[in-house]
Amino acid sequence: MLHIVVCVKQVPDSREIRIDPKTNTLIRQGVPAIANFYDMHGLEEALRIKEQHGARVTVVCMGPPPAEKSLKQCISLGADEAVLVTDRGFAGADTLATSYVLGLTIAKVGETFGPVDIVFCGKQTLDGDTGQVGPGIACRLDLEQLTYVHKVEEIDVEHRRITVQRLLEDGVEVVQTSMPVLITALKELNKVRRAPLPGMLRAATYKPVIWTTADFPGLERAKIGLKGSPTIVAKTWVPEQKQVSTEMIEAQTTTGTATALVEKLWQTELPSRLGWLAEEEV
């Protein structure tokens, strides 16, 4: 039976974060914590593979204890087991330190629950927006790597092959590779299900497996948390908004306003810069 690991991060819903206009600082209060939604598309795909081919689905998450909420959500949707890797020592990790810990975690999941065939990550997280942890984990575990996947075309369990479509800027690439493989999920991959009642009941009493630094005998302290993070944030600021003098255009009629605007535009350098003055045919 296939063993699929899904990496999930609990993040502040950054869409809800506002900037205090007076102090130019972030207003974090009242911002809800949610499971990174790209990760949930990874979970959904894992559950679909489970239904079609039979699989064990293990969810892993690195984060503070409240992240248990997102893991319970994954259990309610149909994940078999959930592991929360939590320790103050992990705090402040950048993508390099995060992929180190998640790499160790997935290796341990493999030892504990059976060898891992597929790892799903979201394309990126809502709070970090980097998309670097997936490739980082693949590198740590020496897995094949398929990023920006919007469709899983075929899983050949017998030959341990997987064929996917990757959505790139200039088109769609169909790639086949061997398992074990790490896949990063786009939101186009699938539609995430609603939790069924039995799942919700199981989640209500479910306690995730908790691992701390003590559970990783080979862990190198210098590679985790803030200390293990090569990148540091030197400063953050609210981008200065370019102020321009705005000319409001208003005429008696709509047509008048439209004509006035177009006349204004034609008086700028725009038509010559766009080659409209020399045009022969549109």
Site for another protein in 213-232 (CB under 8 A): 226, 229-232
β 2-7/118-122 pair status: parallel
Closest CA to 77 of 64, 60, 59, 54: 59
Name the DSSP letter for residue 96.
H
Does 88 engage in binding with another protein (CB under 8 A)? no
User: Nearest distance from residue 8's CB to another protein, in Å?
Assistant: 19
Which pair of structure tokens corresponds to residue 173? 């690439």
Q: Let me know: does 212 contact 86? Beta carbons within 8 Å.
A: yes
> Which residue's CB is nearer to another protein, number 76 or number 190?
190
Cα 28 to Cα 11, 15, 19, 183, distances in angstroms? 12, 11, 9, 31
Q: Let me know: does 165 contact 181? Beta carbons within 8 Å.
A: no
Please tell me the count of residues contacting another protein according to CB under 8 A. 89
Residues 170-209, mask of contacts with another protein (x by CB under 8 A): xxxxxxxxx-------------------------------
Give the distance, in angstroms, between the CA of residue 15 and the centroid of all CA atoms in the same chain. Answer: 14
Name the DSSP letter for residue 64.
-
User: Nearest distance from residue 75's CB to another protein, in Å?
Assistant: 28
User: Nearest distance from residue 86's CB to another protein, in Å?
Assistant: 18
Does 212 engage in binding with another protein (CB under 8 A)? no
Which residues, 122 to 141, sit near another protein by CB under 8 A?
A: 126-136, 138-140
> Which residue's CB is nearer to another protein, number 110 or number 271?
271
> Which residue's CB is nearer to another protein, number 91 or number 209?
91
